[in-house]
Structure 1
Amino acid sequence: MPGDSFRFRGGCDEPGASWEDYCRLYARGGEAFQEAGNFRADITAIRLDRVILFDRRLRGLRHERRPEHVVANGFDHFTLQLNLGGSAEVDCGDGFQALAEGEAVLLDTRLPMRLRLVDVHLLTASIARPLVMAAAADSAHGRFISPARTAVLRRRMAEWAEGDPIGLALEGPRLLLIMLDMLRSEGRRQAGADRLRRMMIRRALIRDYVEANLTRRDLDPLEIAQACALSRATLYRLTEPDGGVVNFVRKVRLARLERLLVDGGAEQLADFAERLGFADASHMSRQFRAVTGISPGRYRAASREDPAANAARQRWTAWMAEFR
């Protein structure tokens, strides 16, 4: 699978990870409970720029994100939950309400929520808050989106080769634009879509250039701007959600490090530091620990204890840290 993706499979009627593995996977976001004896989870996930897409088939589960979880993990993004088929319910504070087939709901991770996943195929998108607010300033926690509004997205999903993360990676930016268009208020559609499309293309160019030059410690904002045919002011504006150009570059370095720790074999941490443009291994370890709460060495060791389940959990934890 591509480095920025993972698959998690587990349940009572198929080989794979255990219920305990699933609880550990979800622990970063809240708490999971079994509601029936036939628990099943089949999840394909892929990270794109400021969005993570999850194709999830879930059965016999309840997820709870209580106030203490909101405070503890500090998530600050939205999730869009689209029912592609089956039975699910959502509680945004007023009790459980059915999420009908073809219907979607927008959820704010700053607020408590509950999901009851009876037997459902969900497309879940974790989307950075600035993208959602740019698309629809009036978007609210618990906003339901009708099947008529989600029809275009569902058609695109139906055309996607199921279970193929490379296909999802290629389709991902298009799916994100469709999702954001679903959230727009009337009268903002075309101008907003064009603005978001330009922003996404420019950010992709910046990331591609940084990715191609990670070995260099002297990556300079002026150089990046010139290489991407941007003014410095535009570069700073595009990376403002990440805390500026320096933090953007640091995030790209740490994202590559996370992939190498899971997939990079027995290479020494000092070699990773040199390859990724960190001053030294100690500097790299401090920055990685500040984001994930764990040292690179411990992260790599944990991913090898149970390669499938732990790699998924480690990867998701690192991805979620980028939304903070």
Structure 2
Amino acid sequence: MSVAADDALPVRQVEVRSGPGLTEAAAFERWEAHMSETYFPLAVSPVPAGEFHGWISCGRYGDVEVTAVGSTPQQVRRTDRLIADDADEYLLAGIFVAGRGRLQLGGRVTAIGPGEMVLYRSGRRYRWDIEGRWEKTVVQVPISRLTEHSGLLASEIPDVIGLPAHGPAGLVSRFFRDVADLQRRDCADARLLMHPALDLLTAALRLSSGSAPGPSADALARRRILDHMRANCHDPALTVERIAQSCMMSRRTLYRMFEDVDGGPATVLRRMRVELAARLLIDSALPVGRIAKASGFAADRHFYRAFRGEMGTTPTAFRAAVSERSR
């Protein structure tokens, strides 16, 4: 196994191969542990192939993870016990690059081949059957983060959606495949490209040909709140209390709209300000102190703490990495 990481731009590389000194059974046991560490607790079973070889390249970009993964044949299961032991739920986009797989979830069997994409939830019992050597790109994001960004309610995200390799959905899947390939060579450039990741995942959900239900009254209200927050997050005087007043609702109702977000609307507002600061660091030559104020932070120390917490690096290091890659 090898692991490569940069404080600002972490990418985790793993390779497991059976051979002299490592039996196929031991290699697969190690592989199951790496798969569970990369995603969430999983039960992984080998399909006899005479030898085992698997590899993982995983990059994290804020709350979104992109993984290039491949191996010899296997079965991957998410059981009721494993779901009960995991507090978080994720949306995953699985995009096959090579090989084929069948996903059984909720009474449906979704067959996926090269270029095709399937969106599915980790909080549901499922089973992947993958025959032959295979490779796929997997995009993973907490459902709470996706709903916070998109205005969708968790109940509006279907358990499983299969999307074709052609048309608009194909453009989304190719984007993530290219990022997964790029991060193995240049994780800094991959990070720059990942800014629209949540928008693209939202678009993929909306490209599901009407299989997702239409927005509820709560979803529409949440989108209205998010639009107001994005338009005014640069104002340091914008607080949770002012958001509630501007949207003509009680503070209690506002918090109910974001009950799936740890920290509620204050967390959403902080993330919006960090996202605005990241764009300004890329697109302008403003000093970092000016960017802090222009992004709605009342004090530099609050800006530095929030930026590092969300981006995994300091504003200065982030800008330096961007500048270095643009030369």
Under TM normalisation by the shorter chain, which class is it?
A: 0.5 to 0.7
Q: CA deviation at 1:131?
A: 4.6
Give 2:312's aligned residue. Answer: none
Superposed CA deviations along residues 156-213 of structure 1, whole A, max 9, x for unmatched, are 346542613333222222344222211126899xxx9xx79x88x97xxxxxxxxxxx
Q: CA deviation at 1:50?
A: 2.4
**How many Å separate the matches in 1 of 2:119 and 2:34?**
22
Superposed CA deviations along residues 282-305 of structure 1, whole A, max 9, x for unmatched, are xxxxxxxxxxxxxxxxxxxxxxxx
Contact 1:58 1:117 in 2 (8 A): no
Give 1:63's aligned residue. Answer: 76
1:123 maps onto 2:137 in alignment:
yes
1:184 to 203, 206, 227: 206
Give the partner amino acid of 1:6.
R
Give the partner amino acid of 2:86.
N
**How many Å separate the matches in 2 of 1:96 and 1:183?**
19
Q: How does 1:165-244 map to 2 (within 5 A)?
A: 165-184=187-206, 229=236, 231-233=238-240, 241-244=261-264
- State the secondary structure of the residue aligned to 2:195: helix
Q: How does 1:85-164 map to 2 (within 5 A)?
A: 85-94=98-107, 96-118=109-131, 119-133=133-147, 134=150, 138-148=156-166, 149-157=168-176, 159-160=178-179, 161=182, 163-164=184-185
Superposed CA deviations along residues 206-230 of structure 1, whole A, max 9, x for unmatched, are xxxxxxxxxxxxxxxxxxx998746
Structure 2's unaligned 5+ residue stretches are 215-219, 245-253, 269-301, 303-327
**How many Å separate the matches in 2 of 1:159 and 1:73?**
30
Q: CA deviation at 1:245?
A: 8.3
Superposed CA deviations along residues 102-128 of structure 1, whole A, max 9, x for unmatched, are 221121122101112333221111112
Give 2:29's aligned residue. Answer: 20
Give the partner amino acid of 1:171.
L
Give the partner amino acid of 2:170.
A
Q: Give the share of equivalent positions with the same residue, in percent.
A: 12
**Which structure has the greater CA radius of gyration?**
2
1:36 maps onto 2:48 in alignment:
yes
Structure 1's unaligned 5+ residue stretches are 203-224, 249-276, 278-324
RMSD of Structure 2 on Structure 1 (CA) = 4.3
Q: Judging changes above 3 Å, is the alpha-carbon distance between structure 1 residues 174 and 120 closer, same or farther for their aligned structure 2 residues?
A: farther
Contact 2:95 2:116 in 1 (8 A): yes
Q: CA deviation at 1:39?
A: 2.8
Q: How does 1:253-268 map to 2 (within 5 A)?
A: none
- State the secondary structure of the residue aligned to 2:123: coil
1:74 to 87, 95, 111: 87
- State the secondary structure of the residue aligned to 1:178: helix
Contact 1:132 1:139 in 2 (8 A): no
Q: Judging changes above 3 Å, is the alpha-carbon distance between structure 1 residues 5 and 226 closer, same or farther for their aligned structure 2 residues?
A: same
Q: TM-score, normalised by structure 2?
A: 0.55
- State the secondary structure of the residue aligned to 1:242: coil
Superposed CA deviations along residues 13-44 of structure 1, whole A, max 9, x for unmatched, are 79999322212223442211111334332211
- State the secondary structure of the residue aligned to 2:188: helix
Q: Judging changes above 3 Å, is the alpha-carbon distance between structure 1 residues 180 and 10 closer, same or farther for their aligned structure 2 residues?
A: same
Q: TM-score, normalised by structure 1?
A: 0.56
- State the secondary structure of the residue aligned to 2:159: coil
Give the partner amino acid of 1:10.
V
- State the secondary structure of the residue aligned to 1:147: coil
**How many Å separate the matches in 2 of 1:29 and 1:44?**
18
Count how many residue pairs are aligned between Structure 1 and Structure 2: 224
Give 1:2's aligned residue. Answer: 6
Q: CA deviation at 1:141?
A: 0.9
Superposed CA deviations along residues 36-94 of structure 1, whole A, max 9, x for unmatched, are 33433221112223222212123212111011111112232211111223212211143
Q: Judging changes above 3 Å, is the alpha-carbon distance between structure 1 residues 14 and 29 closer, same or farther for their aligned structure 2 residues?
A: farther
**How many Å separate the matches in 1 of 2:115 and 2:151?**
21
**How many Å separate the matches in 2 of 1:58 and 1:228?**
49
Give the partner amino acid of 2:172.
L
Give the partner amino acid of 1:8.
V
Contact 1:88 1:117 in 2 (8 A): yes
Q: Judging changes above 3 Å, is the alpha-carbon distance between structure 1 residues 226 and 62 closer, same or farther for their aligned structure 2 residues?
A: closer
Contact 1:79 1:106 in 2 (8 A): yes
**How many Å separate the matches in 1 of 2:21 and 2:194?**
29
Give the number of the structure with larger relative contact order, counting CA–CA contacts within 8 Å between residues 6 or more apart: 1
